[in-house]
Structure 1
Amino acid sequence: MFSKVGQIMLYVNNQDEAVNFWTEKLGFAVISEENNGQGLRWIEIAPKKRAETSIILHNKEFVAKMSPGLNLDTPSLMFFSENLEQLQSDLSNKKVTVGEIVNMPSGKVFNFADNEGNYFAVMEK
């Protein structure tokens, strides 16, 4: 039986730029970094507070060579925030592409793009 989502694999074109985006602009922390010395490198990141799930940043090109046919598309991720307006303003001030806040039946939501143009959503909880 499953107990929780542990990690999400995010395949990126430039791991160093992705780490900078997630840590410098979004305030995530690097939990661990592994490198097998043969090109396989992964970086585990997570929000600094109360994170039960982490994101693993993988090199998209390397993984594509290692596992042809693997779906390397960006997952649709929904993050939660306790202060949506403040978060949207903070991200906008850091030059992150953000969408307008939209009222959905489940609550207020906005989206943002990472440095590679992948979009993610944030909901107020």
Structure 2
Amino acid sequence: MIHQIGQIMLYVNDQEAAARFWTEKIGFVLVKDEENHGMRIIEIAPAKDVQTSFVLHNKAMIAQMQPELNLGTPSIMFYATDVEALYEEFKAKGITVGDLITIPAGKLFNFADDENNYFALIEKRYKLPLDD
């Protein structure tokens, strides 16, 4: 039985630039940066203590090793509180953002990394255990 998502593989053209984008602009932390069998593996996450992380892989190297692999960027939705503040922060940092919109589920916007891969971010209203 699957009980959690462990890592999401992101295939990028420039691992160093991608790591800087996610850590310096988005605020993720570096979990690991190591060489493994000739491949550099950079693992990042929103915080050190979260269970799901991104692993930034060199797209060209992976394509050479496994040409049949789909190297496209997955469609990823992030949850956050205070989406309006994040929207303004991202704009101030020069991150490409879409319009901030409101839908019944909450406020949301999309943003692009430096390789023009788009991600979405939506307001997540957390329920307390006694809210049921």
Q: TM-score, normalised by structure 1?
A: 0.94
In structure 2, the residue matched to 1:43 is 42
Between the aligned partners of 1:35 and 1:103, the Cα distance in structure 2 is: 43
Larger deviation: 102-111 or 6-15? 102-111
In structure 2, the residue matched to 1:12 is 12
Q: CA deviation at 1:24?
A: 0.4
Paired AA for residue 62 in structure 2? V
| Root mean square deviation, CA, Å | 1.3
Q: CA deviation at 1:54?
A: 0.2
* Runs of 5+ unmatched residues, structure 2: 125-132
Between the aligned partners of 1:109 and 1:49, the Cα distance in structure 2 is: 25
1:117 aligns with 2:111: no
In structure 1, the residue matched to 2:58 is 59
Paired AA for residue 19 in structure 1? A
Between the aligned partners of 1:49 and 1:15, the Cα distance in structure 2 is: 20
1:91 aligns with 2:93: no
3-state SS, counterpart of residue 3 of structure 1: coil
Q: TM-score, normalised by structure 2?
A: 0.89
Give a deviation string over 1:45-83, Cα, whole Å, max 9, x none.
000276221000000000000011100000000001111
Paired AA for residue 94 in structure 1? K
Instruction: Give the count of matched residue pairs.
Output: 124
Give a deviation string over 1:61-112, Cα, whole Å, max 9, x none.
0000001110000000000111100000001000000111112232211000
Percent identity of paired positions between Structure 1 and Structure 2: 52
Between the aligned partners of 1:31 and 1:49, the Cα distance in structure 2 is: 6
In structure 1, the residue matched to 2:130 is none
3-state SS, counterpart of residue 21 of structure 2: helix
Larger deviation: 95-104 or 113-122? 95-104
Give a deviation string over 1:16-64, Cα, whole Å, max 9, x none.
00000000000000101121362x1110000027622100000000000
Larger Rg: 2
Between the aligned partners of 1:49 and 1:104, the Cα distance in structure 2 is: 31
